[in-house]
């Protein structure tokens, strides 16, 4: 089971992951599950009605707007990075966090590397499945590498122009 | 000029520390080249044919003398005593050792400079008019907006992994010195009848394999809404730009595929949702604007005696004035262009000694202000006419008083096969051969404005598509051939050039350019530039002459 790192109030912690990623052609196991968007559209209602905790994995070409009406019932949305260079998940995460005010977990999955941890945290990701075996401590360092930021984003970090005005 | 405050400085220090750690891991073998490559590319460090190349950012092409001296020092200490100014108004060092790069970044940071976002699929250095703050043609100082974009785009969390690189240019003058219409985004500052400032927003221009003059998607964007609108454009592009084919990944392909109206509709829909929260507060805009306030101009007569005497007595100075001195908004001042296109030199190269000379002149006579142009020259934007003779003499002494701005030998050329792993053919030596043909300055002046641009491959770093004469290096069975195009322009009359005919071998290119110029001189009517004549006559007389000679 991959390590899961959660980011809460600026602190990264390694936690036990209660969710299982379910492939589209696999049986749905007991417990908390993360499904593809397609699988969720067929099986999601049934699982949620049964009181199960459900997450949805979004591939880069799938836009979070497709989940707009389901968000209140979801525990996890997991925008995926098939390659770290594919930056579409950043937009999905920001829209999820800023426009839809999603309060559940926004989990980075796929080619998730510590070099991008700072960008991910700023776009609203609050949970990470590192693909580079980074520890929670390394993740903590990576998300705090820069003392200042220039632009508003999904995190609480005050941008330079706000710092300057205060 | 904008002064970095403690926040700007801390950003650079943090970035430098991060890269030092990454280089240490690479040198210790903890990272292999594959893992290190994306990290070095985030810091402008390329591995080229012979060595590492470090591309230093010069935000909107603006430098002070301390910065230019530091670049000279880096060139002397870590390179072979020179640097290469690029069409993105950056500076490249071509002979860098990996282990030196953390120290170089620290040296840069000590003068508020860096190599952030000079490579990678992110928002690159935003360029603007090198005459900003000095020309009477502008409706506002475009550097204010370039600086706002610099900050907004630096380490942008959402837009650092775009489908492809992304370049923005801003002009505030009707005469466009930024090639705005062939950028991913071109912003043209305009003033409405009621005095309000806004941007005409042009999206999806570009060069490379598929050149486009960008369409306008918004005629008038109120200036204070700039950042939210840029965010909307970038989000639409980040989500929908192609990622399956590197050659179809620029925003121009998306805009062309959707059509400009549909693209604009998607941007507007996104913009409406983003709202004004994403815009910069007026207080911050005022702070930035204050940094560019002009305060040091003296009240001077329009005529300078020292200047007029030198012009009357020294023909070489008079020639320099005719070609390299441009009108300033303040009476008694001029804009001095410094050509880095000496006959026989590599376009855009400056030695460390030359950089020091320019830095000294800027400090003594130029309000400590130096600009880099996208045509790979330097500018001293604020020189008193009284001082122009002294500036000229010092430049001449340093070998950089070539009086050829906008003339046939003021050529843009990419590094080509001499440095670049992607190139098919040499570009620099072609430029040198052409410049040799027009060594006689009377002839060059008689020819007048003629923009030649040379790329060593289809990626078009030498902007050949928008050359009045464009030259593209191609590989034909292992031999260097060159495809000529005519009639391109990167200015306000932007156009993509059209092919002249079959590609020419290496040793026929300069001769063909000579022939094209002869045709122009025979055909031109009153006051026409090469480009105007070509647009009037069409390709026929030019084609006939070049290929008649070839047979």
**What are B530-542's pLDDT values in tens digits?**
999 999 999 999 9
Best of A61, A80, A88 to substitute, by most chain B Cβ atoms within 10 angstroms, is: A88
Using DSSP, state whether B106 is helix, strand or coil: helix
Per-residue model confidence (pLDDT) at position A1: 43
Residue at B169 is within a domain: yes
Mean pLDDT of B166-171: 98
Mean pLDDT of B500-529: 96
Whether B243 has its CB under 8 Å from any CB of chain A: the answer is yes
Cβ–Cβ below 8 Å for A85 and B152: no
Specify whether B283 is located in the same domain as B336. Answer: no
In chain B, what residues touch A163 (CB-CB under 8 Å)? 7
Nearest to A114 by CA among A89, A137, A88: A137
Residue at B119 is within a domain: no
Best of B157, B166, B274 to substitute, by most chain A Cβ atoms within 10 angstroms, is: B157
pLDDT band at B549 (very low <50, low <70, confident <90, very high): low
Using DSSP, state whether A109 is helix, strand or coil: strand
pLDDT band at B420 (very low <50, low <70, confident <90, very high): confident
Cβ–Cβ below 8 Å for A145 and B14: yes
Per-residue model confidence (pLDDT) at position B551: 54
In chain A, what residues touch B11 (CB-CB under 8 Å)? 146-148, 150
Query: What CATH number should be reported for the domain holding residue B284?
Result: 3.30.413.10
Q: How far is B510 from chain A (nearest CA, A)?
A: 42
Specify whether B106 is located in the same domain as B63. Answer: yes
Specify whether B174 is located in the same domain as B255. Answer: yes
Q: How far is A28 from chain B (nearest CA, A)?
A: 31
- Count of structural domains within chain B: 4
Residue at B451 is within a domain: yes
The predicted-structure confidence for B61-109, as pLDDT tens digits, reads as follows 999 999 999 999 999 999 999 999 999 999 999 999 999 999 999 999 9
CA gap A38, A47 in Å, rounded: 14
**CA B237 from centroid of its chain's CA atoms:** 24
Dihedral of CA B28/B29/B31/B32: which sign?
A: positive
Close Cβ partners of A105 (under 8 Å, ≥ 6 residues apart): A6, A55, A75, A76, A77, A126, A127
Structural domain containing residue B368: 305-397
Q: Tell me how many residue pairs between chain A and chain B have CB atoms under 8 A apart.
A: 94
The predicted-structure confidence for A69-94, as pLDDT tens digits, reads as follows 999 999 999 999 999 999 999 999 99
The last residue of one of the domains, among B266, B292, B318, is: B292
Specify whether B32 is located in the same domain as B81. Answer: yes
Whether B492 has its CB under 8 Å from any CB of chain A: the answer is no
CA gap A72, B441 in Å, rounded: 74
Q: Please say if the pLDDT value at position B294 is more than 80.
A: no
E-strand spans in B172-330?
Answer: 185-191, 197-203, 216-222, 325-327
Per-residue model confidence (pLDDT) at position B418: 87
CATH T-level assignment (fold) for domain A3-165:
TIM Barrel (3.20.20)
- For chain B, give the mean pLDDT: 95
CA gap B320, B495 in Å, rounded: 30
Residue at B115 is within a domain: no
In chain B, what residues touch A145 (CB-CB under 8 Å)? 14, 17-18
Per-residue model confidence (pLDDT) at position B550: 54
The predicted-structure confidence for B376-414, as pLDDT tens digits, reads as follows 999 999 999 999 999 999 999 999 999 999 999 999 999
Q: Please say if the pLDDT value at position B207 is more than 70.
A: yes
Mean pLDDT of B349-364: 98
**Among the partner residues B42, B152, B159, nearest to A150 by beta-carbon distance:** B152
Query: What CATH number should be reported for the domain holding residue B360?
Result: 3.90.480.20
pTM of the model: 0.96
């Amino acid at each position: 089971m991959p390590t899961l790192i959660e980011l809460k109030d600026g602190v990264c912690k390694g936690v036990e992951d209660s969710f299982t990623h379910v492939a589209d052609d696999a049986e749905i196991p007991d417990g908390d599950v993360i499904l593809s968007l397609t699988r969720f559209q067929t099986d999601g209602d049934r699982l949620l009605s049964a009181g199960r905790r459900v997450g949805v994995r979004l591939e880069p070409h799938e836009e979070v707007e497709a989940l707009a009406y389901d968000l209140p019932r979801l525990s996890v949305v997991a925008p995926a990075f098939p390659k770290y260079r594919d930056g579409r998940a950043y937009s999905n995460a920001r829209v999820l966090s800023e426009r839809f005010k999603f309060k559940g977990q926004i989990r980075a999955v796929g080619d998730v590397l510590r070099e991008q941890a700072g960008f991910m945290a700023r776009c609203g990701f609050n949970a990470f499945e590192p693909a580079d075996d980074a520890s929670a401590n390394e993740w903590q360092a990576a998300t705090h590498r820069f003392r200042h930021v220039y632009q508003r984003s999904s995190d609480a970090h005050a941008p330079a122009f706000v710092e300057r005005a205060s | 000029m904008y002064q970095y405050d403690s926040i700007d400085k801390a950003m650079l220090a943090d970035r430098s520390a991060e890269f030092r750690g990454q280089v240490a891991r690479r040198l210790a073998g903890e990272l292999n080249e594959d893992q290190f490559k994306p990290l070095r590319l985030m810091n402008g460090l390329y591995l080229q044919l012979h060595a590492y190349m470090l591309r230093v950012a010069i935000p909107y092409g603006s430098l002070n003398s301390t910065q230019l001296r530091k670049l000279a020092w880096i060139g002397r200490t870590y390179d072979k005593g020179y640097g290469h100014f690029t069409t993105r108004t950056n500076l490249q060092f071509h002979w860098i050792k990996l282990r030196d790069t953390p120290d170089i970044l620290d040296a840069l940071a000590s003068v508020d400079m860096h190599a952030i976002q000079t490579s990678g699929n992110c928002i690159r250095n935003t360029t603007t008019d090198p005459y900003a703050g000095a020309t009477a043609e502008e409706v506002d100082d475009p550097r204010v907006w370039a600086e706002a974009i610099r900050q907004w785009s630096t380490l942008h969390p959402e837009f650092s992994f775009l489908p492809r690189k992304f370049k923005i240019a801003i002009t505030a003058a009707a005469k466009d010195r930024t090639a705005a219409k062939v950028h991913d985004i071109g912003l043209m500052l305009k003033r409405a009848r009621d005095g309000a400032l806004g941007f005409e927003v042009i999206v999806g221009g570009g060069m490379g394999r598929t050149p486009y003059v960008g369409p306008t998607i918004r005629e008038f964007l109120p200036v204070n809404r700039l950042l939210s609108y840029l965010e909307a454009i970038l989000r639409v592009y980040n989500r929908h730009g192609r990622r399956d084919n590197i050659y179809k990944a620029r925003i121009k392909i998306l805009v062309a595929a959707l059509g400009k109206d549909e693209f604009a509709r998607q941007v507007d829909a996104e913009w409406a949702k983003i709202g004004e929260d994403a815009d910069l507060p007026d207080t911050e805009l005022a702070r930035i604007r204050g940094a560019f306030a002009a305060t040091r101009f003296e009240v001077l007569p329009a005529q300078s005696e020292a200047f007029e005497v030198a012009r009357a007595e020294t023909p070489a100075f008079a020639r320099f004035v005719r070609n390299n001195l441009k009108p300033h908004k303040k009476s008694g001042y001029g804009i001095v262009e410094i050509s880095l296109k000496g006959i026989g030199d590599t376009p855009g190269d400056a030695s460390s000694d030359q950089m020091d000379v320019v830095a000294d002149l800027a400090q003594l006579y130029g309000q400590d202000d130096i600009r880099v142009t996208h045509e790979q020259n330097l500018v001293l934007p604020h020189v008193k006419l009284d001082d122009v003779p002294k500036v000229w003499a010092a430049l001449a002494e340093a070998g950089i008083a070539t009086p050829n701005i906008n003339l046939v030998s003021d050529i843009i050329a990419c590094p080509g096969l001499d440095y670049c792993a992607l190139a098919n053919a040499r570009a620099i030596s072609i430029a040198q051969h052409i410049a040799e043909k027009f060594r006689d300055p009377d002839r060059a002046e008689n020819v007048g404005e003629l923009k030649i641009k040379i790329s060593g491959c289809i990626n078009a770093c030498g902007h050949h598509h928008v050359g009045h004469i464009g030259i593209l290096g191609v590989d034909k069975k292992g031999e260097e051939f060159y495809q000529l195009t005519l009639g391109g322009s990167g200015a306000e009359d932007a156009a993509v050039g059209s092919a002249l005919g079959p590609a020419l071998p290496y040793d026929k290119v300069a001769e063909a350019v000579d022939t094209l110029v002869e045709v122009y001189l025979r055909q031109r009517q009153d006051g026409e530039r090469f480009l105007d004549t070509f647009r009037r006559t069409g390709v026929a007389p030019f084609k006939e002459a070049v290929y008649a000679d070839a047979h």
